[in-house]
Amino acid sequence: MARRLRPVGPDFLERAPVRLVFGRDIAASPDKVFQALAEDVADMPRWFSAVASARAGHGGRHVRLHGGIRFEETVLVTEKPEVYTYRVDATNTPGARARVEECRPAPAGSGTRLCTTFALDGTAAFRLGCRPAAPGVDIAFGRAVAALDRYLA
């Protein structure tokens, strides 16, 4: 069952005990990337293979991953096309206590540089597991961005 996380704000991005930052280039414009991330929620499973379903709801999103992990999210900042920040309010991820994610699509050459920050807190075991998981998360992020690039082409 999903449990409520601590309701943190955008400032958590700077003070979280664990911060993971990833970036990739994509051919699409920042506007298109922002739209795919923030507005076309139901299409997320078409390009993000880890996502089983996603739907918009009451100021946020409801996302279910393959394997059963679920997230209820609230949008904190949306400044099209520069920044999209959301907080995870509830999840069934073991050990999670607070989570904010920020996506920043920025012009880069003829396309976009997408930088994403994961700000996390949780039990000691959760925090300890985040660092060794970072390379795998980076690979998954890279695959999702490459799929998004193909989807937007």
Top-confidence residue, 6 or 58: 6
Q: Which residues contact 79 (CB under 8 A, 6 or more apart)?
A: none
Residue 91 to residue 97: CA distance in whole angstroms: 9
pLDDT at 1 over 80: no
Residue 138 to residue 9: CA distance in whole angstroms: 24
User: pTM for the complete prediction?
Assistant: 0.94
> pLDDT category, 58, cuts 50, 70, 90?
confident
Helices (H), 2-123: 12-15, 30-34, 44-47
Q: Which domains does the chain have, with CATH numbers?
A: 3-152 (3.30.530.20)
What is the per-residue pLDDT across 63-91, written as a single tens digit (0 to 9) for each? 999 999 999 999 999 999 999 999 999 99
